[in-house]
Amino acid sequence: MAKQKINWLLLRGLTREKSHWGAFLPLLRKRFPGSEVFCLDHPGTGTENGRPSPYHIAAITDDLRARWKKGFSKATLGAWALGGTS
């Protein structure tokens, strides 16, 4: 059976960063070989820790959308905790 190729966008909760996905990322990549897995940190966390964190969820959502990889019309969103609100 052919493996389905999926573009994944993973978001963690508001006080977490993409490194907290830990061992889940290699498992996801193994289950869906050839798929793209992207993780974005919220402003103020992880790789974005030098930037101020917005006060409103809508502003965080706008920031994530602006930084999302261009060229992918579809992605499967995986989110944990308040990352799911984005």
Tokens of 59: 């502003």
Amino acid at 76: T
Walking along the chain (86 residues) 10 residues at a time, the average pLDDT comes out as 74 85 91 88 93 92 83 76 59
Burial group, residue 50, by CB count within 10 angstroms (0-12, 13-18, 19+): exposed
Tokens of 19: 């490194």
For residue 82, the model assigns a pLDDT of: 60
CB atoms within 10 A of CB 4: 10
* 67 Cβ neighbours under 8 A, 6+ residues apart: 40
pTM, entire model: 0.77
